[in-house]
């Protein structure tokens, strides 16, 4: 409850970010999120250092072609680690209960659930994160640079690092959502 009520999208972010081993450790736990058929219809591409510089050049070129608009640097530049969240739907092979293929929408929901779990785990470890999306997630050039296959979609970048100032994570006050609940009665 504490992690859910105190996590915030954090920016700016500074070093340190989790190393590859720690990130993999957290991802193993995040992968236990609901996933019909256990398909794991997602993958993450970790981007640091030289990879980040290459991605930033590609984004700058794509930004120049797109014309005026929100500056991409605001979205992802500062974080020491970018994890590209890639939706990789399983279109053949493994099935869910009853032997039926798992619909794509359920697979997309599983990718979102895993990413949300990962952000909570990062927060619980003292890291900050923010999931950034935007126009460049559909860019053909970005898809090529990241090596996405035909059916894969870039869902955005999980920017990860440490919030630069020590701030007390204030708990959010849960909203009254009783108007969003109904009870079925035949």
* DSSP notation for 55-117: HHHHHHHHHHHH-SSS-HHHHHSS-SEEEEEEE----SS---GGGPPPPHHHHHHHHHHHHHH
Rg of the chain (C-alpha set): 18
Neighbouring-strand partners of residue 161 = 128
Return the exposure string of 53-82: e unless at least 16 CB atoms fall within 10 Å of the residue's CB, then b.
eebbebbeebbeeeeeeeebeebbeebbbb
- Find the helix or strand (DSSP H, E) in which 21 lies: helix 20-30
pTM of this structure? 0.87
- Find the helix or strand (DSSP H, E) in which 131 lies: strand 128-132
Share of the chain above pLDDT 70, in %: 86
Q: Per residue in 23-56, pLDDT tens?
A: 999 999 999 999 988 999 999 999 998 888 888 8
pLDDT band per the 50, 70, 90 thresholds, residue 61 = confident
- Find the helix or strand (DSSP H, E) in which 159 lies: strand 153-161
Q: How remote is the C-alpha of 32 from its chain's centroid?
A: 15
**Architecture in CATH for domain 2-167:** 3-Layer(aba) Sandwich (3.40)
Burial class for 134, CB neighbours closer than 10 Å (0-12, 13-18, 19+) = middle
- Find the helix or strand (DSSP H, E) in which 43 lies: strand 42-47
Q: Per residue in 142-181, pLDDT tens?
A: 899 999 999 999 999 999 999 887 666 678 888 999 999 9
Looking up tokens 């005026």 gives 68
pLDDT band per the 50, 70, 90 thresholds, residue 127 = very high
């Amino acid at each position: 409850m504490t992690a859910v009520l105190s996590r915030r999208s954090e920016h700016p972010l500074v070093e340190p970010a989790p190393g590859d081993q720690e990130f993999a450790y957290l991802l193993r736990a995040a992968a236990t999120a609901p996933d019909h058929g256990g398909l794991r219809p997602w993958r993450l591409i970790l981007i640091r250092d030289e990879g980040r510089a290459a991605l930033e050049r590609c984004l700058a070129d794509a930004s120049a072609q797109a014309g005026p608009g929100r500056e991409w640097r605001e979205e992802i530049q500062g974080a020491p680690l970018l994890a590209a969240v890639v939706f990789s739907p399983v279109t053949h092979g493994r099935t869910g209960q009853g032997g039926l293929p798992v619909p794509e929408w359920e697979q997309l929901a599983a990718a979102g659930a895993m990413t949300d779990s990962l952000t909570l785990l990062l927060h619980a470890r003292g890291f900050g994160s923010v999931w950034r999306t935007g126009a460049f997630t559909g860019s053909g050039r970005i898809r090529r640079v990241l090596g996405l296959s035909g059916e894969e979609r870039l869902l955005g970048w999980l920017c990860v690092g440490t919030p630069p100032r020590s701030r007390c994570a204030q708990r959010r006050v849960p909203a009254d959502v009783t108007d969003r609940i109904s009870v079925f009665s035949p």
